[in-house]
Structures are given as structure tokens and as C-alpha cells.
Amino acid sequence: MKGKVKMFNTARGFGFITGDDGK
């Protein structure tokens, strides 16, 4: 998700990844 903000479910609840996480 290059240049994007993605919200994803984690075992601890919710998390955010910004920039290029390679996904």
C-alpha cells in the first residue's frame, strides 16, 4: 500500500500502516 493508509485487524484490535509496507 504505497502512499496509502490501510486499516487492518490485529490480535490486539486495530492497527494502521502508512507508506510502503510492501503489502
- The answer to whether 21 touches 3, Cβ cutoff 8 Å, is no
pTM to 2 decimals? 0.15
* pLDDT for 20: 58
> How far is CA 17 from each of CA 7, 11, 12, rounded to the nearest angstrom?
7, 15, 15
Q: What is the pLDDT of residue 16?
A: 65
Identity of the amino acid at 23: K
pLDDT, tens only, 1-23:
455 666 666 666 666 665 555 55
Residue 9 cell numbers, joined: 485487524
For residue 4, what pLDDT is reported?
A: 64
